[in-house]
Structure 1
């Protein structure tokens, strides 16, 4: 995924290993921590640029997500943007206020234009993974749904920044106030490899019914080091349609099938293990225990973090994203259950 880095950097550090991602209860902010995500329904600004409070309440699991890298990390602020770098990796994040930027479209446009300007000038300019959290994601009808406005503003803000290959991404609705948009990313010094799910239509090829601007993300990214798959928000979607509307366990089963397909397509070992942290976004709090217990039985030993958040479609009850680590691989993706559109 070549992303138009405009500046050549002498002595550029190339990452040799993917960041280690783990869930912890009371972590120490050591010198090799690239980012510390703290989940709260009432987020507050943090002085340390590496610490970012995400506007989602924790339903189960340890409330810190920690990224560590090889070597020392340096960090700082540039206007509203916070960043840290180390080991050939870059984390950066920002918050945009819709009341200042002109609604969800304007906030997304501002956030992505700001990130694009910053990233183009960095040695770690190749985006591997993006996260987006916005309030009231399903509010509004048809093209006036807030998520669809966000998608349009995001596309306008990024311009041609990611036009040669969208990275993996997540977009979830928080409950901390509609005005707040949070965006953060992981970038590296080399391009990653886009991975698609053969069971699904690629998001940027969705038909018009999903909005005037299609979502701009791939289903996963094989990181530039080849040893980890960063998995996008994955839900109960076959082709481009929601499956099992209203049935939470059936949606969970379909989501797991999609995750298995992504592992195969990304040349990763089958299944998940104790080194494969997964975040589970749950629309309804009263589904959390059922989802957690089912996942604990289906994926024993897998680190799980359940968060209270709305999914980008009103008929989806849950979504899962996360990481799968494996051996460095340049293998051609495996072909699995191919989706064939109905005529």
Structure 2
């Protein structure tokens, strides 16, 4: 024993972030690669697999063929199912997903509550219980008026299902509307055995502090999450919101500019250098298909070489035309 170190406490090794990439490949071949934690296909034409690590996401891609999104970790991966939930785990990381038919749960609020209750109950049994990032995809997200809007109903159910699980703070998150059928809800997440660091955007009001005009229940998510080793930033859905208000209604170009300004503010808040690179994949959710070529050209010009998955998705506010999320590796 080294003198003077008798009372030293060994610190746990910080987990290296999973690597997220986009690739045109055969899903079964990727699932057989060492360290594959999850594989995502996009749209109705995506190849299906019975492997619990596979998820067909109900968002159509504007590029054909649509690439796969692949999560990989440094170590062997186990996987299984628990009721309606599928999961995989390896190297201290956990993927979990659930898909529900809202008609079996008395609508959007009930399905959202059931999905989050199931996920939180499962996480409570796992060492990898620190949720870093959640994705939520639901149909007709903007349908309904006032508090009856489906997104607001989703927010109500999400909080009900969470219970006290996120008492220490909320993870990064995205909520987007798909066009695969109103009744289908998809929720999936990345969790780890060590906590990350929540990051807020100084240009925006924290989502859980939004005023009453945005619903009975405020959205519960952090703007980003720095993963435990500080080697990656998981970025929540980011749009042209300044303070708590949507900016540049009906102006796609201005919304894109504002969104990139918000992304740069997040990087600065996380202590990361400006800009994105070829190893930092992003998703762009575009409300109107006719806007997709402009969004693609804009991102290729402003973020040259950055992998971008261009998807048809409705933003949680009707006036917003585009939203970005993704990963920034240190």
Interval of TM-score (by shorter of Structure 1 and Structure 2): over 0.9
1:49 paired with 2:52, answer yes
Cα contact 1:80–1:95 (8 A) shared by 2 = yes
Cα contact 2:267–2:274 (8 A) shared by 1 = yes
Q: What corresponds to 1:26 in structure 2?
A: 25
| Aligned-pair CA distance for 1:15 | 5.3
1:108 paired with 2:107, answer no
Q: Deviations over 1:198-238 (max 9, x none)?
A: 00000000000000000000000001121100000000000
Q: What corresponds to 1:6 in structure 2?
A: none
**Within 1, Cα distance between the matches of 2:36 and 2:278?**
20
**Within 1, Cα distance between the matches of 2:49 and 2:243?**
41
| Aligned-pair CA distance for 1:96 | 1.1
**Within 1, Cα distance between the matches of 2:149 and 2:100?**
19
SS in 2 for 1:254: helix
| Aligned-pair CA distance for 1:43 | 6.9
1:324 to 320, 323, 328: 328
Q: Deviations over 1:141-194 (max 9, x none)?
A: 111100000000000000101122000000000001111000000000011111
Q: What corresponds to 1:223 in structure 2?
A: 227
| Aligned-pair CA distance for 1:267 | 1.3
Q: What corresponds to 1:232 in structure 2?
A: 236
**Within 1, Cα distance between the matches of 2:183 and 2:190?**
24
1:176 paired with 2:176, answer no
Cα contact 1:20–1:69 (8 A) shared by 2 = yes
1:61-210 equivalences in 2 (<5 Å): 62-210=66-214
Q: What corresponds to 2:253 in structure 1?
A: 249
- Normalising by structure 2, what TM-score? 0.93
| Aligned-pair CA distance for 1:268 | 1.5
The structure having more radius of gyration, on CA atoms, is 2
Q: Deviations over 1:253-306 (max 9, x none)?
A: 000000000000011221000011000000000000000011101000100100
Count of matched residue pairs: 314
Cα contact 1:134–1:180 (8 A) shared by 2 = yes
Q: What corresponds to 1:296 in structure 2?
A: 300
1:37 to 40, 53, 69: 40
Q: What corresponds to 1:7 in structure 2?
A: none
| Aligned-pair CA distance for 1:110 | 0.1
Moved over 3 A (4+): 41-46
| Aligned-pair CA distance for 1:247 | 0.5
Q: Deviations over 1:59-90 (max 9, x none)?
A: 13742100010011111111110000111100
Q: CA RMSD in A?
A: 1.3
Cα contact 1:169–1:232 (8 A) shared by 2 = yes
Cα contact 2:96–2:190 (8 A) shared by 1 = yes
**Within 2, Cα distance between the matches of 1:172 and 1:151?**
12
Runs of 5+ in structure 1 lacking a partner?
Answer: 1-12, 327-343
Cα contact 2:238–2:325 (8 A) shared by 1 = yes
Runs of 5+ in structure 2 lacking a partner?
Answer: 1-11
